[in-house]
A and B are shown apart, each in its own frame.
Chain A
Amino acid sequence: MDAPMTSARGPEREEASSSAIGFYGGDMMAKMPLAESAPAPEPPPPPPPPGSFGRPIMPPQQEPTSPAARAGAGAERADAVVIYTADLTLAVFEVQKSIETVAAIAKRQGGFLARRDDQSITIRVPSGHFDQTVKDLEEVGDVLHRNVTAEDVSEEFHDLQIQLRNLNAMRERLVVLLAKSNKVEEAIAVERELGRVSGEIDRIQGRLKFLADRARLSTITVRLEPRAASTVDKGPFQVPFPWLNDLGIGRLINL
């Protein structure tokens, strides 16, 4: 039986082809899911090839420095960083068994269980398998609520990479300065600045790692409700056969 759809999906997008920064494994999905309440976005940038975080990939041209220049170049930028998340609420028979089914779907798609409790489960699957995973999950029960988002953090990611590059260069210069400093006061000042720069580098690396992880593995939270507690369609069309109202477990086993 097809589960009744409580909300329609938006139009799906064609996959663009181009090289990009590779910081997460797997192929980017061909069709990008859209947020249910968001307006139709611009065509997505092309998918990145597989790669690993920490390996800087220089774009073919010099990085634009002004925001306008960056905006102009963004449309042609091939190194997109997109974070996919989904939030589903399903009406199911046997909640605990359905939670196990969701965990099995995550494993089948190359992902893992991130969190679970009595009535919800959060899984993480490679972004390339996000679309298929959501489709598989919708077969587990009747969809009461669906929220799918694709957050483009490319701008932030690339800005952070540029900052990191600059800070690394500054740190190298400070190390050289420290080696050359003859006076204690100079050395202390350089060390203080070195400490500040190192802290900034750590912070940016942490943020880059966080964004890369979120983009590499999409996050899907599934909340499960017993079907008895909810009806998918309040007031379906009633055909004129009164005996339909006498169907069901309660009447039969009530001896």
Chain B
Amino acid sequence: MSLSAKNLFTVRPFGRAGGLIAGIALAAWTFMGCGHPYEVATPTGFVDLEDRYDDGDEEYRATTADGVVIGVRAYDNEPYAERTFLVRAIENQLRLGRGYSLLASKEVAAKDGTKGTQLRFGHDEPSGPHLYILTVFTDEDYVYLHEAAGKKELVEKAEKSIDWSLREFRPD
């Protein structure tokens, strides 16, 4: 007999209470394991902060001990916008409105081949120059943002790990 929500409630291997507990566990597994509309892997040297920042924005966040942070978020693509439109909006927001320097821009691809645009920004923080690497993917349902940031020299050292994280990223 296959394990399914219906069978758990009908078979009741441990009685009525056991079936209820199993049903709740199955539902909890469903929400915790499949909360993010994307798949992401944590690179070596980073620690996954798990659900600490998953506040409804479908957010993933991982950090090194030195403070290089990778974050992934997904927002409803509503109203629907193409990636090129959103990239332009992001540039305007960060460059013109908040003093970020756009250092480079390139096309990238996620693990399943979904095309994205990576923007590399520099920003002088009180503690020194920082880098902010933002990669944007879109599909019909979501806008996916893969971010990495930290002190410039630390981000440059962690660049291979950040690139690996991006290559392992996959929208669902």
Residues of A whose CB lies within 8 Å of any CB of B are 1, 4, 91-95, 141, 226-233, 235-241, 243-245, 247-249, 252-253, 255
Contact = CB atoms under 8 A, between A and B. Distances in A.
A255 B63 contact: yes
Binding site of B, secondary structure by majority: helix, strand, loop or mixed? strand
A244 B134 CA distance: 12
B100 A239 contact: no
A93 B101 contact: yes
B98 A248 contact: yes
B8 interface: no
Interface stretch (B20-28, B29-37, B67-75, B109-117): B67-75
B17 interface: no
A4 B96 contact: yes
A248 B90 CA distance: 10
Report, as a range, how many residues of chain B touch the other chain. Answer: 35 or more
Contacts of B102: 1
Contacts of A240: 79
B97 A233 contact: yes
A238 B97 CA distance: 10
* Closest 10 A/B residue pairs (Cβ): A93-B101, A93-B122, A227-B99, A233-B96, A236-B96, A226-B124, A228-B124, A249-B149, A228-B99, A244-B93
A232 B122 CA distance: 15
12 contacts: A93-B103, A94-B129, A228-B125, A232-B96, A232-B99, A233-B97, A236-B92, A236-B93, A243-B57, A244-B90, A249-B130, A255-B49
A229 B89 contact: no
Contacts, number: 94
Contacts of A92: 101
B12 interface: no
Interface in B71-107: 71, 73, 75, 79, 81, 86, 89-103, 105
Residue from A233, A235, A238, A241 having most chain B Cβ neighbours under 10 A: A241
B97 A236 contact: yes
Given A93-B103, A227-B124, A241-B89, 16 more contacts: A1-B105, A93-B100, A93-B101, A227-B99, A227-B101, A230-B99, A231-B98, A232-B96, A233-B97, A236-B93, A236-B96, A236-B97, A247-B94, A252-B61, A252-B71, A253-B67
Contacts of A253: 67, 69, 149-150
A93 B49 CA distance: 31
A253 to B, nearest CB: 5
Contacts of B122: 93-94
Contacts of B57: 243
Contacts of B91: 1
Nearest to B52: A255
Given A252-B71, A252-B149, A1 B134 contact: no
Nearest to B104: A1
B89 A239 contact: yes
